[in-house]
Amino acid sequence: QNKNGLIFTLIHEYAHLLTLNADQVPPDIAVYKHPEDQNLYNKKVAACAAYFPGEGCSKPNSYINTFYNRFWVDIADEWQKVDAFSSADDQNRYYEKLYAFYKAHRDQFVDDYAVTNTSEDMAETFAYFILSPKPAGNSIKEQKLTFFYDYPELIQLRAQILENVCALNP
């Protein structure tokens, strides 16, 4: 019954398809076939000259690599310390640390879920980009929203999505 929530979620998930598809992030077959091999994963990350979101090494001009370099490089080390708790037995501690990270950087994220990782930040921000007016300010959060306006194809996609959402929900 929550139509707005469903629309937001569909746009968020579409953002993952848009930013993590094989044209943007070619999948690393070895990592895919051996997800438990942390040494292999670490080697692949180290060998990647661009951002490695987990699926493979992103292309240098990919949306996610550009987003990471513009918005995550300065906070990546601090975030890594938080993310180290993600595989701990006590998930409550991880979520507490993640929320504390959000509170410390609230001006950089559209919501508290966006701090999960770069991919989730990009997907959440993309959904806000689609569904919100263009911001006029210059905070990092607003810069993330205007990031998508740097790409004419995403401006066109935004218009198409909004047109269809409005047509289905008069």
Taking residues 160-169, report their average pLDDT: 91
Residue 1, pLDDT score: 64
N- to C-terminal Cα separation, the chain = 16
What is the average per-residue pLDDT within 14-33? 97
pLDDT at position 131 is 97
Query: Rounded CA gap, 134 and 93, in Å?
Result: 36
Joined together, the tokens standing for residue 64 give 């996610």
Task: Output the six-digit token pair for 39.
Answer: 């040494």
The Cα 60–Cα 34 span in angstroms is 25
Describe the crossing of helices 63-71 and 118-131 by its angle, rounded to 10 degrees: 100
Mean of pLDDT values over 105-120: 97
The C-alpha atoms of residue 154 and residue 151 are separated, in whole angstroms, by 5
Please report the pLDDT score of residue 74 as a whole number: 96
pLDDT at 170 > cutoff 80: no
Confidence of residue 169 (pLDDT cuts 50, 70, 90): confident
pLDDT at 146 > cutoff 90:
yes
pLDDT at 13: 98
| pLDDT, the chain, mean | 95
The residue type at 74: D
Read off the tokens for 44: 């692949």
Vertex 21 angle, CA 17 and 24, to 5°? 125
CA distance 168 to 170: 6
- pLDDT at 26 (0 to 100): 98
Tell me the three-class secondary structure of 106-120, residue by residue. Answer: HHHCCCHHHHHCHHH
